[in-house]
Amino acid sequence: MGSESTYKNQYKRIETDISKVRTLFQSTAKEIQEAMNAVREEQVDDELDEIAPNSRQTEEDAESAKEDQISIYSRQMKGLDSMTLAWNLEHHLTNVRLLFKRGFQMKNSLNHLCH
């Protein structure tokens, strides 16, 4: 009976580890996206600061230009965002696979000991 209890405890720890990995991945993806958005916004603002005074754009023109630039940067950075997120996902999935493998090894060992 003690082996079954130990197995259940190990299984719960593995589930907790998987949950932690999932949470870490989600927060990492969110942080990356926020950082990339901040960089894009800053780049657009810097460019508009240089352009707007010389061209005497109206407020609407400046806003339209800003939206156009954000769209351009978004398309350019989308590939980089996807690659970074894919790498992070692969890294975390590798950890999850290792945790599952370890869990199955423990289960098999416990089953062998019980029988």
Nearest-angstrom CA–CA distance, 44 and 48: 6
Tens-place pLDDT, residues 57-83: 566 666 777 777 777 666 666 666 666
CA proximity to 77, closest of 33, 27, 18, 114? 33
- Taking 60 as the threshold, does the pLDDT of residue 85 lie above it? yes
Domain residue extents for the chain: 2-114
In the Cβ-directed half-sphere of 6, how many Cα atoms lie within 13 Å? 11
Tens-place pLDDT, residues 39-53: 778 777 777 667 656
pTM above 0.75, yes or no: no
